[in-house]
Amino acid sequence: MTKVSKRISLFDIFPEGRREQDVNPSNTLGEETPVDGCTVQPVDEASVIISTVTDQQNHNVLGPEKSSLCSLQHVSRILIHISIILSIVAASLSVLLILQYFYHPPVQRACPDYLEMCAPSLNCSLADGANLCPPSRQPSNRTLSSEYRNPVLLLTSRSLLQLYNVITGRYYTVCHQGWMASHGWTVCRELGFNSHTVLSSPVPLSATDAPCLESFAVVNKTGSPGNLEGFLSPVETCPTQEGVSLQCTDCGRSAAESQRIVGGSPSAWGRWPWQVSLRWDGRHVCGGSIISSQWVMSAAHCFILSNFLTVGRWKVHAGSTSLNPSTSHSIRSIYYNGLYNPETNDYDVALLKTSQPMGFSETLRPVCLPRTQQQFQATGNCWISGWGHVSEGGQLSPVLREAKVHLIGSQICNQSSHYPGLITDQMLCAGYLNGKVDSCQGDSGGPLVCQEGGLWWQVGIVSWGEGCGRPNRPGVYTNITALLDWVYHRLQTDSEIP
C-alpha cells in the first residue's frame, strides 16, 4: 500500500481570496490654529481688511521678516502635532499588544468524547483539542461508575423496541399492548432525540429473531410516562404477540427517486436531503449527514488532521445540491470519538450540534441511523454522494454527485490484494473491486446509505482509501452500526446540557 488518503478537501477548488486592507487615512493637519499672533486659521473677511489697513498706516518695514518668522513657527507647530499623534498611536499599539499577550478569550474547540469518560467534564472550550484521556486508553464501554448500557435499543430494520432495566441487568422487548404516544416521546428523549415526530406501530413477534424473544415487558399503568424505570412490568410473553416498532424521527425519505464521486453523475434536487457541506471559513472541506434537527454526523479526521478544531469557523450548509452559497447553520459543539486513531483511521466518526434546530422540508430532512443487528445486502440499493473530486487529483464538483456501490465484506477487503489486515470492526468497504466508481477527496464525512423497507439508512461514513477509483482499492467507510452506542451516548449526554 503506497498511498492512503483521507478524503478531505483542503480548499483545492477555491482560489485564495485577496484580503482587504483597511485603509482609513486621517487628515490630522486639517485644522489650523493661530501661532503667536500669526494668522494661520481661516478668519472672516472683515478682520483681514482691518489688519491690512493697520499695517499700512504704521508703515511696518519689518513685514517680510515677521512673515518669515510666522512661517517657521507654523512648521514647528505642525511638527509638534505630528510628534504628539505618533506618540498616541505608539501608546495605543503598546496597550493592544499587552492585552493580546495577557488576555485570551475562550474559544470553543472540537472535543474528544469517550464512552468511558476520563474527566468530570467534556467541556474543552479552553483546550487545544488534545484528548482528555491518555493515548494508550483501550476501547471500553464503561462509564465512571458502571458498565455502560444503552437504555434503548431499536433492533433490525423493523425498529423493534427494547428497554434496559438496571435492576435486573436485562433488555426487555416492549409489548404493544397498553402502549401510548406519550411513551414513545419518553423513549425518544432518552435516546437524545427531541423531535415531535414520533412514529410507533405494532409489529408481529412471530418473525422476530431469537434474542428478541427472551424477555418481555408491558406498560405499567401505574407508572409515569416520564420515567423509563417506572412504567414497565416484566411478563412471560406479550399478550397479543406484538411488539413496538418505534421511529424517533421522520427519517430516510427522499423527495426524488431515480455520482465527489468518481464515475458518478449529478444528483437530482431533493434526492439526498440529509447531505450537507461542512465549510471552514466558507470553504468546503467535508461532507456530512443530518440525523436529527440539531445533529450532523461526519468523520473525525475532518477536524483532527488539519487542526480544524475551532468550532466558530465551521458552518453547516444544507438543503442544496450546489456548492454555491446556500442556507448555513452555525455550530454549537463538535465531538469526535476519543478513540479515533489518525494512523489507522479507526473510530473515524464525529457529531456536530447546530446552534438552532434546522427546519425540515422536502430538500432538508434526516437520514435514518441503522438499527442494532440490522443487516444490509452486499448487492443492495446502496449509494454514496458528495461534492468531492470527480477524478483522482482533480477538482471538487460544483454540484452534488451520486454513485451506486456494492458493500464488500471485511474478509474480502482484508485480503493481501486489497487492504491486508487494515480493515477493523469499525470499518467497512464499498465500491467495486475493478475500481472506477469510488468516493474521493472532498467526500470525507459524507454518507453511504442503503435502502431497505422503503427507507434510507446510513450504513457508513466516507473515511479513507488508497487513491480514488483504483482497481482492488475500494473506498473504506466508518461502520456506523458498530459505533451506535457511542452515537447515542453522545446524543443522550448532550441533551442534558442547557
| CA 23 to each of CA 20, 26, 30, 79, 132: distance values in angstroms, whole numbers, following the listed order | 9, 10, 18, 23, 44
Per CATH, the homologous superfamily of domain 265-494 is Trypsin-like serine proteases (2.40.10.10)
Segment of 266-275, 354-363, 469-478 carrying the highest mean pLDDT:
469-478
Confidence at residue 368, expressed as pLDDT on a 0 to 100 scale: 95
Query: CA triplet 465, 284, 395: central angle to 5 degrees?
Result: 60
Closest CA to 116 of 139, 90, 136: 139
Confidence at residue 289, expressed as pLDDT on a 0 to 100 scale: 98
pLDDT at 72 over 90: no
Confidence at residue 339, expressed as pLDDT on a 0 to 100 scale: 93
DSSP SS3 for 294: coil
Looking at residue 108, its amino acid is Q
Q: How many CA atoms lie within 13 A of 417 on its CB side?
A: 5
| CA 444 to each of CA 318, 349, 441, 471: distance values in angstroms, whole numbers, following the listed order | 16, 11, 7, 20
Confidence at residue 469, expressed as pLDDT on a 0 to 100 scale: 92
Name the DSSP class of 267: P
Find out whether 482 and 489 touch, Cβ atoms under 8 Å. no
CATH number of 152-247: 3.10.250.10
Confidence at residue 20, expressed as pLDDT on a 0 to 100 scale: 36
pLDDT at 294 over 70: yes
DSSP SS3 for 474: coil
Q: What is the pLDDT of residues 31-54, one digit of tens each?
A: 334 444 444 333 333 323 333 333
Confidence at residue 47, expressed as pLDDT on a 0 to 100 scale: 29
Model confidence at 100, in pLDDT bands (50, 70, 90)?
low
289's grid cell: 449527514
pLDDT at 19 over 50: no
Model confidence at 148, in pLDDT bands (50, 70, 90)?
confident
Find out whether 299 and 286 touch, Cβ atoms under 8 Å. yes
Q: At what angle do helices 484-494 and 181-191 cross, to 10 degrees?
A: 100
Confidence at residue 32, expressed as pLDDT on a 0 to 100 scale: 39
Confidence at residue 1, expressed as pLDDT on a 0 to 100 scale: 35
Mean confidence (pLDDT) of the chain: 78
Higher per-residue confidence, 58 vs 118: 118
Confidence at residue 341, expressed as pLDDT on a 0 to 100 scale: 94
Ordered by start, the domain boundaries in the chain are 152-247, 265-494
* Rounded Cα distance, 300 and 391, in Å: 24
* Rounded Cα distance, 135 and 131, in Å: 7
Find out whether 200 and 245 touch, Cβ atoms under 8 Å. yes
Looking at residue 417, its amino acid is S
Q: What is the pLDDT of residues 243-264, one digit of tens each?
A: 999 999 889 988 765 444 555 6
Q: How many CB atoms lie within 10 A of CB 60?
A: 12
- The whole model's pTM is what? 0.75
Return all residues near 60 (Cβ < 8 A) that are at least 6 apart. Answer: 66
Looking at residue 249, its amino acid is T
The catalytic site residues sit at 301, 348, 444
Confidence at residue 269, expressed as pLDDT on a 0 to 100 scale: 82
Q: Which helix (H) or strand (E) holds 97?
A: helix 63-102
Structural Rg of the chain based on CA atoms? 33
Find out whether 184 and 154 touch, Cβ atoms under 8 Å. no
- Percent of the chain having pLDDT more than 70? 72
Q: Which helix (H) or strand (E) holds 216?
A: strand 216-219
Confidence at residue 165, expressed as pLDDT on a 0 to 100 scale: 84
Model confidence at 352, in pLDDT bands (50, 70, 90)?
very high
58's grid cell: 504704521
For cell 517657521, what's the residue? 72
Pairing of strands 295-298, 314-318: unpaired
Higher per-residue confidence, 119 vs 5: 5
Return all residues near 330 (Cβ < 8 A) that are at least 6 apart. Answer: 312, 315, 354, 355, 356
